[in-house]
């Protein structure tokens, strides 16, 4: 068996483009550029991810709603920063049948301008607050950059939560809760490590006071933004005249937040993080087929006995609640059949051949550790339970190790440039993530292949020493920031 | 307590328009006409319905995919009947940002022209068949008729299954399976009675050989079409050049079917069928809150003991897996608080007042039977289990009874006109649901307030006697058909 080092992906782009087809995840042959067809193997897992996310949003006091996909242009024009941020990317509906509409309608690129339009009807008193809502939605952005299935397509699939609070402090607490939800889902459930960064002021969501983004690191060393959460302050409540009366009957504007976990993108990040040269891997709970049983036939052997044994084991595993299938492609060689399931990331394979039937044994292959083992058949069921139990933790720990190995601390500007060439994400001392730090950020960008300041980390407090200076300008360093190349 | 007769809805339209707001199901104040905002109370149930439908589609061998919302005009033009049927209703995307697209893109009104475009890539050999796929989708139709939340809006939410088979017989078996799925979901799970009709040839889905539609009957006697399933024959496979090689290496066009359960519309039908003057009702499993506990406070009584009792009962019920809430609106009168939950269709209410606390009793109110009962507290939990068990069956049986009472058999044309005025659905002997029967259908339509032939029923064989003649033209009757007024 190859070691985990030998299995590491070398050319990520090539690997990703190949795996989409080999593992039957998506199809880019649809006849509109940038719009992708997602196939059953990925959709099964994404549907589970949607359900898990829905449960946690409900459990944290969010209520699900469904708003229209179309947003009138007039709503869009209400928030100037938002307009500038999103208008270039909007798909516009202008006709129905053979007639023109009097007004243009946007396909939602995000739904603030629909939610806030409704909030004014739903909010009147402080007793109505907090309002915590979310919807499952497909959103549309006409990206001018290169598209990539899952990671960046012109239609994508997410939950978007839109919340209102009485005080700024309450809204900040929500942002912290969004980070916890992200940890529970992405890291614990999906095994995807990330750091939540407070973004620099020049890299915010259009209309936000502060943006917090969760970045993971792809096998090519590039940062991929996964969910982000935003402090919107009173920007949208003022633009849309959303207000309430407080206990003293005074009119107030509430404070908003929004949080956008994009399931199709998280899936793309997840398979990239856990993937290797053999194919994709995914948490045990998300695998469409969790256990594949492969009967091994040889000339002259009794096929029926082998098939019967496979069937009986499959039935027992099915009764235990596992998603199990038998691979009955007799026409294919064992190696060929093994590869299909390794490529698709089936967590566990059970091989049963003529020797096994005689000896009452089975051979198992586990995809988390890339390990084969021969077992007495009666021991199989406890072993499967054990693997199911620890599988996700194993791939999460591997991902965590790889993630940490991609981050380095550097002290000098030259070292920074070197490490970025080595595809690392670098921690450096930096002057400021307020607007006065932008010239230094621009300098880094210009001196490297476009590396960006991703912000200051939110999961732990990192304070520079009194004497630390900005790695670029030499001014006193206010914080540590992380610098890396962004992907998608 | 009012009897079930006294609770019957008198003016359905008015009731429906009111209940949307009173039960906080939807909001029509969004600023695009015909596009509705769905609120948490309905969305919670619809999300459950989606999950239940997804499970049954998976269990019947369907695989979930996700196709783009946009469909190029060129795909649309490939199937002429389909074009004529749907083009007048299409929303067109023509611009992005400030630029015009070279081609127009339709917001899918249904997705045959996207699925069949992809099927040609996915199908090559008879070994690939059957292909059974479905997607969860929002679809768009610019209806020129009056819109109504849930029942007819310009954006709606459904599953659409698109399947391919080697033989016509296989495709017909699929249509029968779609009817079984509809029975399992709509009738058994959601308590909604219906009849599956084979539609007359003049009332088919654009591009179908035969259309089968499930009709329920609203409280106003009008028929509401719920899921429909269609035999597409080789119409779309030929238009889109979808073919495969059979075992003899000969090229063949497969036979298609499609099935479209629309969750938002089923929800609308469901609350209408189960609704009464008090408000909506829904199956126990779909209720966002299944049990509401209402503490009853009176001046001078010990509020804390009552609250503690409510909390302890709520915790126990929560542990048993029920969705339970406490109504702590102390400022409102009991009657007012009761009404809110009756309007929203909370299946079970538990009232606890000072006398109850002393006597260790509770009063329960069950919405299925509109019945109050006083119980010893220790008996409560078994009672709740019993109600949870039988609740859906009770409302289903009530709906079945109401449904049957709205159908009559008539023998003469005059009687038909009379019964239609009485808001009944009438069974009559009829010449033909092939195109030669259309003049008779047109005559009925003209002589009544637009009543239509809904087709021949699929759940049982009804054969006219040798001497029976068409109620309109007097020709020999080939079948019994059902006639009624269509709503939405």
Instruction: State both tokens at B50.
Output: 């989606």
Of B35, B88, B121, the CB nearest to A29: B121
Kindly tell me the number of DSSP H helices and DSSP E strands found in chain A.
14, 23
Question: Do A75 and A175 belong together in one domain?
Answer: yes
- A4 lies in a domain? no
Q: What is the structure's pLDDT at A300?
A: 64
- B437 lies in a domain? yes
**Complex prediction ipTM:** 0.96
Q: What is the structure's pLDDT at A299?
A: 65
End-of-domain residue from the set B389, B421, B440? B389
User: To probe the interface with B, which of A66, A77, A98, A118 has the most B CB atoms within 10 Å?
Assistant: A66
Domain range for A373 is 289-389
Peptide linkage before B145 cis (omega within 30 of 0): no
pLDDT digits (tens, 9 = 90+) for B298-314: 766 678 899 999 999 99
Beta bridge partners of A483: A426, A453
> How many Å is the maximal CA-CA distance in chain B?
89
Q: How far apart, in whole angstroms, are the C-alpha atoms of residue A350 and residue A316?
A: 13
Question: Do B202 and B344 belong together in one domain?
Answer: no
Q: What is the mean pLDDT of each run of 10 residues along chain B (488 residues)?
A: 86 97 97 96 98 98 98 90 81 95 96 97 97 98 88 96 98 98 98 98 92 97 97 96 97 98 98 98 98 86 87 98 94 93 98 92 97 96 98 98 97 96 97 97 95 96 95 95 94
Question: Do A176 and A112 belong together in one domain?
Answer: yes
Question: Do A376 and A450 belong together in one domain?
Answer: no
The enclosing domain of B470 has a CATH number of: 3.30.110.30
Q: Contact A37/B89, CB-based, under 8 Å?
A: no
Q: Which residues of A touch B40 (CB under 8 A)?
A: 63-65, 133
Question: Do A294 and A206 belong together in one domain?
Answer: no
End-of-domain residue from the set A218, A247, A274? A274
Q: How far apart, in whole angstroms, are the C-alpha atoms of residue B295 and residue B208?
A: 57
The enclosing domain of B313 has a CATH number of: 3.40.50.800
Q: What is the structure's pLDDT at B39?
A: 98
End-of-domain residue from the set A274, A308, A334? A274
Q: What is the structure's pLDDT at A101?
A: 95
- B240 lies in a domain? yes
**Residue labelled with tokens 């779309």:** B236
The enclosing domain of A236 has a CATH number of: 3.30.930.10
Q: Contact A64/B43, CB-based, under 8 Å?
A: yes
Residues of chain A below pLDDT 70: 299-301
Question: Do B297 and B421 belong together in one domain?
Answer: no
Q: Three-state DSSP class for A260?
A: coil
On average, the pLDDT of chain B sits at 95
- A280 lies in a domain? no
User: To probe the interface with B, which of A26, A33, A34, A37 has the most B CB atoms within 10 Å?
Assistant: A37
Of A68, A96, A133, the CB nearest to B142: A96
Q: What is the structure's pLDDT at B302?
A: 76
Q: Contact B35/A70, CB-based, under 8 Å?
A: yes
Q: What is the DSSP letter of A146?
A: P
Q: How far apart, in whole angstroms, are the C-alpha atoms of residue B22 and residue B276?
A: 13
Q: What is the structure's pLDDT at A470?
A: 97
Of B54, B68, B133, the CB nearest to A32: B68
Q: Three-state DSSP class for A72?
A: strand
Question: Do B256 and B183 belong together in one domain?
Answer: yes
Cβ atoms of residues B309 and B244 within 8 Å: no
- B308 lies in a domain? yes
Question: Do B218 and B338 belong together in one domain?
Answer: no
Question: Do B178 and B308 belong together in one domain?
Answer: no
Question: Do B221 and B321 belong together in one domain?
Answer: no
3-state secondary structure A394-437: HHHHHHHHHHHHCEEECCCHHHHHHHHHCCCEEEEEECCCCHHH
Q: What is the structure's pLDDT at A82?
A: 73
Question: Do A133 and A226 belong together in one domain?
Answer: yes
Question: Do A30 and A169 belong together in one domain?
Answer: yes
Give the number of beta-carbon pairs within 8 Å between A and B.
150
- B131 lies in a domain? yes
Q: What is the structure's pLDDT at B214?
A: 98
Q: Three-state DSSP class for A283?
A: coil
Count how many domains chain B has.
3
Q: Contact B91/A88, CB-based, under 8 Å?
A: no
Kindly tell me the number of DSSP H helices and DSSP E strands found in chain B.
14, 23
Cβ atoms of residues A109 and A140 within 8 Å: yes
- B149 lies in a domain? yes
- A2 lies in a domain? no
Of residues A116, A74, A160, A68, the one with CA closest to residue B36: A68
């Amino acid at each position: 068996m190859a070691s985990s080092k030998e299995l590491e992906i070398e050319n990520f782009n090539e690997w990703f483009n190949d795996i989409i087809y080999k593992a039957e995840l998506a199809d880019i042959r649809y006849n509109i550029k940038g719009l992708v067809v997602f196939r059953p193997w990925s959709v099964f897992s994404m549907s589970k991810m949607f359900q898990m996310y829905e449960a946690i949003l409900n459990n944290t006091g969010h209520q699900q709603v469904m708003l229209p996909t179309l947003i009138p242009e007039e709503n869009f024009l209400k928030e100037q920063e938002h307009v500038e941020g999103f208008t270039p990317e909007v798909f516009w509906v202008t006709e129905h049948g053979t007639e023109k509409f009097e007004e243009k309608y946007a396909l939602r690129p995000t739904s603030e301008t629909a939610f806030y339009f409704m909030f004014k009807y739903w909010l009147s008193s402080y007793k109505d607050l907090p309002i915590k809502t979310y919807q499952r939605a497909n959103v549309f952005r006409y990206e001018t950059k290169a598209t990539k299935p899952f990671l960046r397509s012109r239609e994508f699939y997410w939950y978007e939560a839109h919340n209102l609070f009485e005080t700024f402090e309450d809204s900040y607490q929500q942002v912290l809760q969004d980070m916890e939800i992200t940890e529970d889902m992405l890291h614990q459930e999906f095994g995807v490590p990330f750091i939540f960064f407070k973004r620099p002021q020049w890299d915010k969501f259009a209309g936000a006071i502060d943006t917090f983004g969760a970045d993971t690191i792809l096998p090519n060393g590039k940062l991929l933004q996964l969910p982000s959460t935003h402090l919107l302050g009173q920007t949208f409540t003022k633009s849309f005249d959303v207000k309430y009366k407080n206990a003293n009957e005074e009119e107030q504007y509430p404070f908003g937040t929004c949080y956008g976990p994009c399931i199709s993108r998280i899936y793309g990040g997840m398979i990239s993080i856990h993937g290797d040269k053999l194919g994709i891997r995914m948490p045990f709970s998300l695998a469409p087929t969790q256990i594949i049983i492969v009967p091994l036939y040889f000339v002259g052997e009794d096929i029926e006995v082998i098939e019967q044994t496979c069937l009986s084991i499959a039935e027992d595993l099915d009764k235990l609640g596992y998603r199990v299938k038998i691979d009955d492609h007799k026409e294919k060689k064992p190696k060929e059949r093994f590869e299909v399931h390794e490529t698709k990331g089936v967590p566990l394979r059970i091989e049963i051949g003529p020797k096994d039937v005689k000896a009452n044994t089975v051979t198992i292959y586990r995809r988390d550790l890339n390990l084969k083992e021969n077992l007495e058949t009666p021991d199989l069921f406890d072993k499967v339970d054990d693997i199911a139990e620890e599988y996700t933790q194993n791939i999460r720990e591997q991902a965590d190790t790889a993630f940490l190995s991609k981050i380095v601390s550097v002290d000098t500007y030259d070292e920074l440039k070197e490490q970025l060439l080595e595809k690392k994400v670098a921690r450096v001392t930096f002057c400021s993530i307020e607007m006065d730090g932008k010239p230094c950020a621009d300098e880094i960008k210009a001196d490297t292949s476009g590396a960006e300041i991703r912000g200051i980390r939110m999961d732990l407090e990192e304070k520079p020493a009194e004497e630390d200076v900005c790695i670029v300008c030499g001014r006193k360093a206010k914080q540590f920031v992380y610098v890396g190349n962004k992907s998608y």
